[in-house]
A and B are shown apart, each in its own frame.
Chain A
Amino acid sequence: QVQLVQSGAEVKKPGASVKVSCRASGYMFATNYIQWVRQAPGQGLEWMGIINPSGGRTNYAQKFQGRITVTSDTSRRTLYMELSSLTSEDTAVYYCARDREVRKVSGLDPWGQGTLVTVSS
């Protein structure tokens, strides 16, 4: 079945960077866009960015411009989201999620299990 498996929880100090991975299986890797979404403790969902794994084209939310890099490694069937200059406001669960349609956007299914990133001195 289609599955996204993310890397494990991370604890980082303020100012550091974090790189979260998302390994895809069960479908043709390059055909579906992947979005990254985060959720701070007790808060709602926040859209961060999107990548087309075929070619690596990205679009990021303005809020994260300059701090976020999303990449794709087709040989490993893995996506990566790196966020730099971390502050306590970046403490959140980070999700990758695949769009349900090939080469279009219509809705995210499935989602990865989430990666908790804690930023603390």
Chain B
Amino acid sequence: DIQLTQSPSFLSASVGDRVTITCRASQAIASYLAWYQQKPGKAPNLLIYAASTLQTGVPSRFSGSGSGTEFTLTISSLQPEDFAAYYCQQLYTYPYTFGQGTKLDIK
């Protein structure tokens, strides 16, 4: 199975900060990577697909980059509603594994 390792696992930041979350794959997955945001008690919400394409309706402060084995999710200027958990998922080969998650909270 392909392992996805997110770093950091926990991140404290302030409103207005620029933050970056990394997702590393144990083998190359081209651009078959998606990013999700999950708020407590809610289902995940798709932010980015194909590593760098913004899902319709997602604010432009979110961006994704990378290919192969290293990927990043960047939030350019944190807003109060962005404090949540973030997960990457590879869709290159079965099983379509998830990273362990990054919890972003308010400093």
Partners in one complex: yes
**Interface of A with B (CB < 8 Å)?**
35, 37, 44-47, 50, 59, 61-62, 95, 97, 100, 105-114
Ordered by A's residue number, 30 sampled pairs between the chains whose C-beta atoms are within 8 Å are: A44-B99, A45-B36, A45-B38, A45-B44, A45-B87, A45-B89, A46-B98, A47-B89, A47-B95, A47-B96, A47-B97, A50-B96, A59-B95, A62-B1, A95-B43, A100-B46, A100-B55, A105-B91, A105-B96, A106-B49, A106-B50, A106-B91, A107-B34, A107-B46, A107-B49, A107-B89, A107-B91, A110-B43, A113-B43, A114-B43
Interface of chain A: mostly helix, strand, loop or mixed: strand
Taking CB atoms, residues of chain A closer than 8 Å to B97 are 47
Distance, CA A74 to CA B94, complexed state (A): 24
In the assembled complex, the CB of B6 is this many whole angstroms from the nearest CB of chain A, namely: 9
Distance, CA A47 to CA B36, complexed state (A): 14
Distance, CA A111 to CA B98, complexed state (A): 15
A44 touches B100 (CB 8 A): yes
In the assembled complex, the CB of A62 is this many whole angstroms from the nearest CB of chain B, namely: 7
Name which residue of chain A comes closest to B97, CB basis: A47
B98 touches A108 (CB 8 A): no
Taking CB atoms, residues of chain B closer than 8 Å to A108 are 34, 36, 44, 46, 89
A109 touches B46 (CB 8 A): yes
B49-70 vs A, CB cutoff 8 Å, 1 = contact: the mask equals 1100001000000000000000
Knowing A111-B43, A112-B43 are in contact, say whether A35-B34 is a contact too (CB < 8 A).
Answer: no
In the assembled complex, the CB of A47 is this many whole angstroms from the nearest CB of chain B, namely: 5
